[in-house]
Amino acid sequence: MKQSYITIQLPFKDRGEEKSSGPETLEEIGAVQAALKSININQYTSFHFIGKSLGGLILQRFIVQSSLFNTHLVKFTILGYLIGDVTISSLKTKTYVIQGENDPYGDPKLVQEELDFLKISKLNIIIGADHSYRNSRKNPVYQDTVVSLIEI
């Protein structure tokens, strides 16, 4: 199976700005679309999108709008689920979430309640980790654990 990796830098970050293009994140979704246009997607049979925090929100919106589902197998991993922003019920794909136990943007119990809506989802909780997979001293000690949990 052929595998390729694409990373996307968000346009507002490229400009040195702190905020996204707005609540609809249209510019950021456009960046995802442009990245996929740069490759021949027909040479692939599946895609695995991985997004951290705002990146997860942007990818969720892109996946919902995309026609990739018509011709490709799609998996989605969210690193740091944002309760109230990501609309999990709109997804029709296998969805994985890796959440810090102490994530202020998504209490794992509430995340699980939202994921229970999807029968094709899985939640991994990193005990002791915050939204950026750091410990209480803000050291990024859980990042290797997160990477090992991503199911490629």
Q: Is the pLDDT of residue 145 over 80?
A: yes
**Domain map (residue ranges) of the chain:** 45-149
Pairing relationship of beta strands 121-126 and 94-100 according to DSSP bridges: parallel
Mean pLDDT confidence for 3-28: 85
Could you report the per-residue pLDDT of 74-94, keeping only the tens digit for each?
889 999 998 887 777 777 788
Q: Is the pLDDT of residue 69 over 90?
A: no
Q: What tokens appear for 35 in the block? A: 């990245």
Say what the pLDDT of residue 142 is.
98
Given a contact cutoff of 8 angstroms between Cβ atoms, the answer to whether 129 and 103 are in contact is yes
Mean pLDDT confidence for 111-136: 90
Given a contact cutoff of 8 angstroms between Cβ atoms, the answer to whether 93 and 47 are in contact is no
CA distance 122 to 91: 13
Mean pLDDT, the chain, integer? 88
CA distance 93 to 120: 7
Query: Does the 45-149 domain belong in CATH 3.40.50.720?
Result: no
pTM of the model: 0.88
Q: Is the pLDDT of residue 40 over 90?
A: no
- H or E element in which residue 19 lies: none
Say what the pLDDT of residue 2 is.
66
Q: Is the pLDDT of residue 136 over 70?
A: yes
Q: What percent of the chain is modeled with pLDDT above 70?
A: 96
List Cβ neighbours of 82 (8 Å cut-off, separation of 6 or more).
Answer: 53, 54, 56, 57, 105, 106
Q: Is the pLDDT of residue 28 over 90?
A: yes
Say what the pLDDT of residue 1 is.
61
